[in-house]
Amino acid sequence: MRNLVLALVCLPLLLAAPPQARRDLLRIPVWVEQRDGAPDLTVSDFNVKLEGKPAPVVAARGPADDLLVLLVLDLSEELSLAEIAKQALAQALGGLPARTQVAVLRAQDGLRVLVDPTTDRSALGEAIRSYPVSGKAGFLDTIETAARLADLIMAKASVRLVLQYVTDSDIHNYREDFINPVVNSSDRHDMSRRFPEGLVLERISKLEARLAGLAPPLLIVHLDYRSDRLNQAYQSGLMRLAAAAGGSSVFCRSRADIPAQIASAFRSIVSHYSLEVEAPALLSRIVPVEVDGGGRAASYRNRFVFEDK
């Protein structure tokens, strides 16, 4: 688990290989209503159905168990917002349980490891504080690589894992131009005039299909909500991607939002459960999921969508 750099170097081989069409064991992230004084849930507390049929839960790892966080920083816009986020991240990491390991990665110019998984909070804080705020947005260019890396780790390690992105990305700051060009400027009925966000939605749809069959939950904290049409389409797309990967997303609308949302994200990360569920006979490409968490309200990914062979 510690040799994250080696895994990242080898990941192109994983991406080039044909995807597995089915899993014999599904890892399902679950967030359960917290009750003061209530004990953590165990395997016997969970009931899971796949494709409408009961499926055996063979393991349920919760707040008291080991946790690995892959923290990906995608900061390229306003320095003042990034500095607030850095301080909030350092504080949140300092308060994590002792058994929580964190790796820090950079999204600009391709996914790069800054700190291998560690419990050394000072090393993590130093990496975050020294992170340069520059370059182009990297979320769309790195999310599939990061998710497949996390999926590979989860397949090899008996540990809860969450992929956490903190980003200030603006759709206009990618190397790729996502402005849908007008095909026929003289034609009022030209669809490219009516749907300028078409290229953004196409990219999101492709990523959504690829993330929907991977195990790691994705949490996104976006530091700067933007209201122009193209960024609204982009931000809605980020919500779709997080949901497809069994996670969640939040968008900060003020500087005061940033510390609170980052702290909330890490509380959610620490408290989540990771279920291992037997799934030897799945036949469908789309596998609906139902989870009951011992009578407590639970949120979870409600389906896996596997890639065709």
36, burial (CB in 10 Å: exposed 0-12, middle 13-18, buried 19+): exposed
In sequence order, what are the beta bridge partners of 57?
A: 277
pTM: 0.89
Contact between residue 51 and residue 279 where contact means Cβ atoms under 8 Å apart: no
> Would you place residue 184 in the very low, low, confident or very high pLDDT band (cuts 50, 70, 90)?
very low
Identify the pLDDT of residue 233: 96
**Does residue 286 or residue 258 have the better pLDDT?**
258
Question: Between 110 and 34, whose confidence is greater?
Answer: 110
> What average pLDDT is seen over the chain?
88
Q: Biggest alpha carbon distance in the chain?
A: 67
Is the Cβ–Cβ distance between 218 and 150 less than 8 Å? no
Alpha carbons 111 and 224: distance in angstroms, whole number: 22
pLDDT of residue 295: 85
pLDDT in tens, 208-228: 999 999 999 999 999 999 999
Strands 218-222 and 248-251: parallel
pLDDT for 33 equals 86
pLDDT, greater one: 184 or 232: 232
In one letter, which amino acid is 133? V
Alpha-carbon gap, residue 79 to 250, rounded angstroms? 20
* pLDDT band for position 3 (cuts 50, 70, 90): low
Helices assigned H by DSSP within 79-174: 79-94, 121-129, 139-156
What is the structure's pLDDT at 7?
55
- Encode pLDDT of 112-169 as tens digits: 999 999 999 999 999 999 999 999 999 999 999 999 999 999 998 889 999 999 999 9
Domain boundaries, the chain: 63-271
pLDDT value at 32 more than 70: yes
232-285 confidence digits (pLDDT tens): 999 999 999 999 999 999 999 999 999 999 999 999 999 999 999 998 766 688
> Given pLDDT bands bounded at 50, 70 and 90, which one contains residue 4?
low
Q: CA dist 202 to 33, 142, 194, 197, 207, Å? A: 35, 16, 15, 9, 9
Q: What is the pLDDT of residue 294?
A: 84
- Beta strands 303-305; 25-32: pairing state: unpaired
Strands 160-167 vs 67-74: parallel, antiparallel or unpaired? parallel
Reported as a pLDDT band with limits 50, 70 and 90, residue 194 is low
More confident residue, 229 or 20: 229
Share of the chain above pLDDT 90, in %: 74
Give the span between the Cα atoms of 199 and 182, in whole angstroms.
12
**Considering the domain 63-271, what is its CATH architecture?**
3-Layer(aba) Sandwich (3.40)
With cut-offs at 50, 70 and 90, classify the pLDDT of residue 25: confident
What is the arithmetic mean of pLDDT over 73-79? 95
pLDDT at residue 10 tops 70: no
Alpha-carbon distance of 196 to 201, in angstroms, equals 10
Of residues 284 and 5, more confidence is placed in 284
